[in-house]
Amino acid sequence: MKVALHGLTLKAEFIRDVKSLFQALQQHHMEVFVTEQFDRQLRMHGNIGLNYWLLDGSDDMSQMDFLISIGGDGTLLDSVCQVGELETPILGLNTGRLGFLATVATDKIHEAVQHLGENNYQVEKRSLVSLDCNRRLFNGLNFGLNEFTIHKRDTSSMITVHTYIDGKYLNSYWADGLIVATPTGSTGYSLSCGGPLISPEAKNLVITPVSPHNLNVRPIIVSDESEITFEIEGRAEKFLISLDSRSTSISSDLKLMVKKENFHARLVKLPSYNFFDTLRYKLNWGFDMRN
């Protein structure tokens, strides 16, 4: 079995956990590969006596049985970009904070690797949002697991986002921005802007305004078979768009269309994982300081 490791940062406090992960993988006779980004992080700490192969592009990635994301949810989002349409299963080891996506705690490393070795896991298919544009953006990585966002830039003034569903006019949002989130992304930026929580297997997208001028404008859930197009107006000449944590500046003359991507992100879920348990724990549902 071949396993790739990916991480964007590696704090000294997690070196022991990384060593424990390598030890567990080797005990189960798994070949360990690392991405260039994670290799740089390991070298910053002197390689800490670990043996591994360096991944060389998509050809090597296509041979991997799993990718283990080491970090928080942001690292896992970047891992989705590393994998792309190969759909290599991704397991998230949480060395970050919230951990809606990176669900394996550092004290469960050996248990998690044992489940992988024994094929005792499930793979959840998570839908992705895709951006079509009349200009090449994001170096061709025009998909995201969480959301696509339009934002104002370099001004305190609102922008107007004229929005259409399958060519039919929906609304003109006077706001700081607009989010189109997947069910996975419903627990992210969209949630902080008042959007609803959506079960991961739901076949929907949610359109959520960011600080709308009209208080009666609310998030709306639409089918993920929809094609959503936008026209942007504002006092500034440039606007900001993003896919997950990647952003770029655009002008209003670009044609933007968002829809569901043709491939999926495949997230490894261990036997102890339950989405609703995660919701209750991360959002402190039922927690009362008085009890």
Q: Which residues are catalytic?
A: 73
Q: Are 249 and 238 in contact (CB under 8 A)?
A: yes
Q: What sign results for the dihedral spanned by CA atoms 228, 231, 235, 240?
A: positive
Q: Are 243 and 148 in contact (CB under 8 A)?
A: yes
What stretches of the chain show up as alpha helix (H) in DSSP?
A: 15-27, 36-44, 57-61, 73-83, 109-117, 189-192, 275-282
Q: Distances in Å between the alpha carbon of 19 and those of 28, 47, 99?
A: 14, 10, 21
Q: Are 66 and 86 in contact (CB under 8 A)?
A: no
Token pair of 63, please? 């041979």
Contacts of 117 by beta carbon, 8 Å cutoff, 6+ apart: 1, 28, 30
Order of strands, sheet of 177-181, starting from the edge strand that comes earlier in the sequence? 220-223, 204-210, 177-181, 147-151, 238-243, 246-251
| CA dist., res. 83 & res. 64, Å (int) | 10
Q: What sign results for the dihedral spanned by CA atoms 202, 204, 210, 212?
A: negative
